[in-house]
Amino acid sequence: MESGVEKILPYSGAEQKGKQVERMFNAISARYDLLNHALSFGFDKGWRRKGIHYLKPFRPGLVLDVATGTGDLAICMHKMLQTERITGVDISEGMMQAGRKKVERAGYAGHILFEKQDCLALTYQDNTFDAVTAAFGIRNFENVGKGLAEMYRTLKPGGHVMILELSSPVKFPMKQLYRWYAGMVIPQVGKFFSKDKKAYRYLPASVKAVPQGKEMQALLEEQGFAGVQVKTFTGGICSLYTGKKG
pLDDT at 15: 81
In a domain, 9, yes or no: no
Domain count, the chain: 1
Distance of CA 239 to the CA centre of its chain: 11
Range(s) of the domain holding residue 156: 17-245
Distance of CA 157 to the CA centre of its chain: 22
DSSP 134-201: EES-GGG-SBHHHHHHHHHHHEEEEEEEEEEEE----STTHHHHHHHIIIIIHHHHHHHHHS-HHHHH
In a domain, 103, yes or no: yes
In a domain, 139, yes or no: yes
In a domain, 3, yes or no: no
pLDDT at 3: 43
Predicted structure pTM score: 0.93
In a domain, 10, yes or no: no
Average pLDDT, the chain: 92
In a domain, 121, yes or no: yes
Averaged pLDDT for residues 160-185: 92
Q: Could you count the other beta carbons within 10 Å of the beta carbon of residue 228?
A: 19
Distances (CA, A) of 41 to 16, 44, 149, 174, 175: 32, 8, 33, 15, 17
In a domain, 7, yes or no: no
CATH number reported for the structural domain that contains residue 155 in this entry: 3.40.50.150
In a domain, 11, yes or no: no
pLDDT at 203: 83
